Amino acid sequence: MAYEYVPLKDKFESEVVPTMSEEFGYKNMLEVPRVSKIVVNMGIGEGSRNADLLDLHGKELMTIVGQKPVVTKAKKSIANFKLRDGMPVGLKVTLRGPRMYNFLYKLINVVLPKLRDFRGVDPDSFDGRGNYAMGLPEQLVFPEIVPDQIKRVQGMDIIVVTTARTDEEARRLLALLGLPFKRVMV
């Protein structure tokens, strides 16, 4: 049997919509929850003191997601962290449309299987409104990153924002798209 590549958007329209309509009783195709955006955030604490780090990780993040990141700044001053209001503290990218689907496909099929001791993502990391958050310990798991050129290992947060009203709907949507959740032992 030959492997056939099906883009994630096509899979959503051909498999996920009919399955979820049947399971949750949606009468209209537009009622079915969908992924609206993915936010990739890289918190760089030392970025406020070292502008080169922001440039370095900004280029890495742009290579990973294919879109230029925005510098996030501190909202208030915290003396213990030597942080002042307005200092750069991280990078963030909001993905929508084809880039979002391409990134989600790469995350599910390439990146997560490369993680060490990976047994699935946590099924309880939903926020109560159908959005899913996860963290990656390092940027080296992405195929675009060359390990020899990395000067500093940096983790990132990935938030998948859906139009689902409940966590149950969002969990089923992401599971049908292929996100591997851990098996919960009862």
21 part of a folded domain: yes
Could you list the residue range(s) of the whole structural domain that residue 27 is in?
Answer: 8-43+95-177
Q: Which residue, chain included where needed, has tokens 């990218």?
A: 93
**Which of 4-13, 27-36, 54-63, 141-150 is the most confident on average?**
27-36
> What's the pTM value of the predicted model, to 2 decimals?
0.86
CA–CA dist 140, 148 (Å, integer): 10
Give 92's pLDDT tier (boundaries 50, 70, 90). Answer: very high
pLDDT per position as a tens digit, 52-63:
888 888 888 899
Q: Is residue 90 part of a domain?
A: no
pLDDT at 186 over 60: no
Phi, psi of 140 (to 5 degrees): -70, -15
Interior/surface letters 73-82, b for 16+ CB within 10 angstroms, e for the rest: ebeeeeeeee
- Determine the average pLDDT of the residues in 37-59: 82
CB–CB of 33/169 below 8 Å? Answer: yes
If one counts the domains in the chain, the total is 1
Residue 130 resides in a domain: yes
54 falls within a domain: no
On whether residue 82 sits in a domain, the answer given is: no
Compute CA 29 distance to the chain's CA centroid, rounded to the nearest angstrom: 25
Q: At what angle do helices 17-24 and 167-177 cross, to 10 degrees?
A: 150
21: tokens are 């309509």
* SS3 (DSSP) at 177: helix
Please indicate, yes or no, if residue 30 is contained in any of the structural domains: yes
CA separation for the pair 162, 12 (Å, rounded): 13
Looking at the domain assignment, is residue 76 inside a domain? no
What is the domain-level CATH number for residue 145?
A: 3.30.1440.10
Residue pLDDT, tens place only, 134-160: 998 888 888 888 878 777 888 899 999
Residue 185: inside a domain, yes or no? Answer: no
